[in-house]
Amino acid sequence: MIYLILSILLSVVLLLNFRLFPRFNINTFQAIVFNYLVCFTTGYFLMPAGQHFSVDFSQTWTWLSLALGVGFIVTFLLSGASTQQTGITATSLANNLSLVIPVCFSLFIFKTGGKTFDLTNYAGLVLALVAVALSTLKKSPATAEPAAVKPKTGLGVLLPVAVFIMYGTTNTLINYINLNYIPSTDQTAVVTLTMVLGAIIAGMVMIVVRVVQGKEKIEPRSFIGAVTLGVPNYLSFYTLLLALSDFGSNGAFVYPLYNIGVIVVAALVALLFFQERLSTANKIGLGVAVLAIGMISWQELAAFLE
């Protein structure tokens, strides 16, 4: 359980970084790209004794991990933009309610949940979608967030939806790789570093293209953001993999607990430190989110409490 708690806290730190970057004039795109270099360095030095990193292109998991790394950077870019335009709470809700996708795959495709969906579970899935909609509703002027957060207009409203889809997709692939290619925690570090390598390759291609086109100029300040983002980014993902291993790759159990934790902690942090005010609809969305997650995983939660 300690790995799950650590993953929750570290995930909230990532959202805090995105929220603070504009305040310190840190280029979010560059910080995200360079953070994966920090991730790789962090993971490499934290590898268990006796292990070494190498890339074996003959293995299926290598290609899956590299592809997942590309998904990571796309998801991170969307999350950063969403956090700055819609706030920490709305983005964390969209992020964590994406558990609907890996939970469905875990139960119906991977069959690691060990249960059959009942009416309560299905109702929870529907409520999760309702919670996403409520959390992204435009706030009235009286309850608007501070000026540091841009108002949600036009395509900006769709950012949490994109975060929802991408996080759900990447978490499903994480669970698949963990279930089929990480039979023991001894391989977790190597697989994780391979995923990070995929993100590095994708990020470097993106930034080189933008620099050549004259749309981007490397800003030294971005490397500071890369460090504050990269260390917790790697550790949050690594501890999530360890949590999945601890619970037999049962994503139907781990993801709901993880998401409840991040939603609640992120909302508290946003309120206490950034005075992010929520409209009535947003508050209802937060409550519905917790209820939905509980309904989706009530069997696992009940078994855990016995």
Per-residue pLDDT of 14-35, as tens digits, reads: 889 988 998 899 998 899 899 9
Please tell me the distance from the alpha carbon of residue 123 to that of residue 169, in angstroms, as a whole number. Answer: 21
If you compute the radius of gyration of the chain from its CA atoms, what whole number of angstroms results?
19
Alpha carbons 194 and 161: distance in angstroms, whole number: 28
Contact 252, 112 (CB under 8 A): yes
Give the mean pLDDT of the chain. Answer: 80
Q: What is the mean pLDDT of residues 285-298?
A: 81
pLDDT digits (tens, 9 = 90+) for 173-213: 887 887 777 655 567 788 888 989 999 999 999 899 989 99
How far is the first Cα of the chain from the last one, in angstroms, to the nearest whole number?
Answer: 15
Span 126-149, pLDDT tens digits: 887 787 667 666 554 443 444 444
Cα 275-75-137 angle, rounded to 5 deg: 45
Tell whether pTM > 0.75.
no
Q: What is the rounded average pLDDT of the residues 230-258?
A: 80
